[in-house]
């Protein structure tokens, strides 16, 4: 099995739809770190699992310097963003979404809980 990961830093704004009172329900921003993990049993015709530039294009193009509520179509929690990104990137099995120094969420596809990287 071949594994790759890509770490990106992005800036974005959002507000959360919550059923309780919270300052996160107001518009606010984050400088986040997103780490994407991909794997494949075979390399593509270019010798890659997933092109790093395609990972960057997907993450940055959909999140960086944007107001996520206008584009995501769901409540943009760190957990939901990690899950959403994982589904958009070819061969992705895990996304770690660190929205601030102390707040990190991860999504791992079923069957990949013990994968490398």
- List of domains in the chain: 2-108 (3.30.479.10)
Return the pLDDT at 116: 82
Q: Determine the pLDDT at residue 99.
A: 95
Residue 83: the pLDDT is 98
Q: Among all residues, which ones are annotated catalytic? A: 24, 65, 99
What is the pLDDT at residue 33? 98
Contact yes or no for 46/55 (Cβ under 8 A): no
Q: What is the pLDDT of residue 114?
A: 86
pTM value is 0.93
Predicted confidence at residue 27, as pLDDT, reads 94
Q: Write down the pLDDT at residue 66.
A: 97
Known binding-site residue numbers for Zn(2+): 14, 28, 30
Q: What is the 3-state secondary structure (H, E, C) of the chain?
A: CEEEEEEEEEEEEECCCCCCCCHHHCCEEEEEEEEEEEEECCCCCCCCCCCHHHHHHHHHHHHCCEEHHHCCCCCCCHHHHHHHHHHHCCCEEEEEEEEECCEEEEEECCCCCCCCC
Per-residue pLDDT of the chain (117 residues; tens, 9 = 90+): 999 999 999 999 999 999 999 998 999 999 999 999 999 999 999 999 999 999 999 999 999 999 999 988 999 999 999 999 999 999 999 999 999 999 999 999 999 988 887
**CA 106 – CA 87 distance, rounded (Å):** 13
């Amino acid at each position: 099995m071949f594994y790759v990961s890509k770490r990106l830093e992005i800036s974005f704004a959002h507000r959360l739809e919550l059923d309780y009172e919270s300052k996160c329900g107001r518009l606010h921003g984050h400088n986040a770190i997103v780490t994407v993990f991909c794997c494949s049993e075979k390399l593509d015709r270019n010798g890659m699992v997933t092109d790093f530039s395609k990972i960057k294009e997907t993450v940055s193009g959909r999140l960086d310097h944007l107001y996520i509520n206008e584009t995501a179509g769901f409540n943009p929690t760190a957990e939901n963003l990690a899950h959403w990104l994982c589904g958009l990137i070819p061969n992705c099995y895990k996304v770690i979404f660190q929205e601030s120094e102390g707040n990190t969420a991860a999504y791992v596809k079923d069957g990949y809980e013990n994968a490398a990287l």
